[in-house]
Structure 1
Amino acid sequence: MRVISSTDTLLFAPFIEGFVAENPLISVEYLVTGSADIDRRVRANPSAFDVIISSAMDLQLKLANDGFALRLEDVEVPPWTQWHHSLFAFTSEPATIVINRSAFEGRALPETRQDLIEAMRERPDMFRGKIGTYDVRESGLGYLFATQDSRVSETYWRLMEIMGGLRVKLYCCSGDMISDLVDGKIHVAYNVLGSYASAQAEGQDALEVILPSDFQTTMMRTVMVSNETQSVQAAQQFLRYLVSDRPNDSTTQSPLPLLVAEDTVSEQETIGLNPALLTFLDSLKRKKFISAWENAVIQ
């Protein structure tokens, strides 16, 4: 069974190991790439993969909407965690701000985006070239987080302008941002995926993971079976395994926070699996958003 995914192998390995332990006759080939690249690859060759996993909910919803996902009527999940029985959520993860405490020594840690703006304005020399965030032109998840942030508050654009003026470093993915934070190459990483932040911050006393209190952007990682899968039964079994609560029973736990059937996470707290996700994928709207983002960030 061939799986293409945007989740690092280290974080996802426990799921594969747990599934294979239950299904020893099924082998799993796991390919990791960026969320935008997943969309391109699946559209170009939908029969190349059996299971498609991504953190970019909007791109996944469009794939499903465009007929690339197999419809599975009998998968039992909360209605708000699935789309037309073809796309299913199995984790719920917030975007976070991760900081190196040494850059805030003797000072209050930022609790909101406005706090972060004020900290950077007060000490530009401390943060110049030391801030990281996604390059939304390349990262599917980065684009999703950015568009959702912009819908909630104008603070996002002020934050991007400040970061741009301080020569923000742009990244493809959360893992690279966290690695540079650990190595001291940057002091602040903005909109880092919560699971990556928690996994790499563990044991790193210098790092602090912040859930901004002004508003949180929380995504659901989603999975679908390719409509042209050549391993129909195995792929369906794997999807059902992911959306069940069985991975929580694995000996080796993954830091990915699973959604399960009785999950109490409110649908109001997460980006919804609904047609609104497709708004910023419209070519004209995307072009306009990217242009505004470049004007703010590329200075």
Structure 2
Amino acid sequence: MNSLRVLLLLLAASPALAGDAPRSALEETARRESRLVVDSTTDREQVAPLLKAFQQRYPYLQVAYRDLSGADIYRRAISGTQHGDVLWSSAMDLQIKLVNEGLALRYSSPQKAALPSWASWRDEVYGTTFEPIVLAYNRQRIAERDMPDSHTALRRVLRAGNWRVASYDVESSGAGYFFFSQDSRHNPEFWDLAAVLGRSMRYQEGNSLTLLKRLQRDEADIAYNVLGPYAWSFARQHPQVGWVLPQDYTLVVSRLQLIHKAATHPAAARLWMDFVLSREGQQVLAQGSGLPPIRDDLPRRLGNIDLAREAAKLRPIQVGSGLLVYLDSAKRSLFLKRWREQLPAALQP
């Protein structure tokens, strides 16, 4: 009996026997790999604090961080030769397509338990951020009290007045097509809204930052479907730009991360995955990059808005096979044809 107690005490006291061995083995393998390649749609400058924190934790890893579009990440991933070890993209539908095509390495991260149930799929892809899509506006032209704060109110205002709208290029931008197609799933009056958006459209862009600059330069009055963290950060430095969280429903997107099945440095990729999803990594993303955390055990804020209090109107986009619906070529062609019909002749492709 005494021998059994001694053995149990030894098991509890020894990190090597109490469960740290797999982690140590992973780190040792990553040390031998010595390198990690991350392909990402997030600007390097924006995630510089995260990169710094990761390198401090794992100084023996040389990290090559490559800024790419979601479409480029997808193309490289299927090429079989030019892809990174980790693929981190805001093009949620294309990331799911890679998983569906068998190009993601299955990895059950120990951080998974802290994530919402909708934020991962098949232990192959994980959401890393919680980003509401907002309406941004030109405060030189629209008073805060007059800015429509819902999709319904926006439709009414655009129908009644002569407003200049900027939004994503649905035809050429993967994010733009994704945001608009998701809108159509959540808004039964989407095509009524699309009709007035199309008539008011002056600029179609490929990213949120360019849309916000249109407002700043007084070239547009309203920017539709802007990523919340970009709007919040931009408005802090440019007070002539404001933003609102739509009160009828607010889509929430997440930057999805997966490890390529043919990763050259799979152990280093696992360390990166775990770090980004860890409390430390999520706090760095929130405080250093302004990206609200995906973890349920951390507070989520967008500027001065406590997102927990807005839960009833927030509609996180489920990570899973449902994102493949609008990648079907027939559905995509039909959607784009109908959208083109809403645009003025000057913006017709």
TM-score (normalizing by structure 1): 0.91
Please tell me the residue identity of whatever aligns with 2:110. Answer: V
* Cα distance change, pair 202–81 in 1 and its aligned pair in 2 (3 A): same
The match for 2:137 is 99
Q: Which among 73, 83, 99 is matched to residue 48 of structure 1? A: 83
Of the structure 1 ranges 174-183 and 248-257, higher mean CA displacement relative to structure 2 is found in 248-257
Larger radius of gyration: 2
CA shift for structure 1 position 74: 4.1
The match for 1:110 is 148
CA shift for structure 1 position 152: 1.6
Could you report, residue by residue, the CA deviation over 1:74-116 in whole angstroms, capped at 9, with x for unpaired residues? 4331343211111011101111110011211486221112222
Distance in 2 (alpha carbons) for counterparts of 1:47 and 1:72:
22
* Cα distance change, pair 19–187 in 1 and its aligned pair in 2 (3 A): same
Q: Which among 223, 226, 242 is matched to residue 276 of structure 2? A: 242
Residue identity over aligned pairs, in percent, reads: 30
TM-score (normalizing by structure 2): 0.78
Distance in 2 (alpha carbons) for counterparts of 1:227 and 1:21:
27
Distance in 1 (alpha carbons) for counterparts of 2:81 and 2:101:
12
Tell whether 2:87 aligns with 1:86: no
The match for 2:342 is 296
The match for 2:253 is 219
CA shift for structure 1 position 29: 1.8
Matches within 5 A, 1:1-299: 1-45=36-80, 48-77=83-112, 78=115, 79-105=117-143, 108-124=146-162, 127=163, 130-250=164-284, 253-260=288-295, 262=297, 269-299=315-345
Unaligned runs of 5+ in 2: 1-35, 300-307
Distance in 2 (alpha carbons) for counterparts of 1:106 and 1:283:
41
Of structures 1 and 2, the one with the larger relative CO (CA 8 A, separation 6+) is: 1
Distance in 2 (alpha carbons) for counterparts of 1:260 and 1:107:
34
| 8 Å contact from structure 1 (residues 47, 229) kept in 2 | no
Unaligned runs of 5+ in 1: none
CA shift for structure 1 position 117: 2.4
Distance in 1 (alpha carbons) for counterparts of 2:148 and 2:72:
34
Distance in 2 (alpha carbons) for counterparts of 1:185 and 1:8:
25
* Cα distance change, pair 134–18 in 1 and its aligned pair in 2 (3 A): same
The match for 2:29 is none
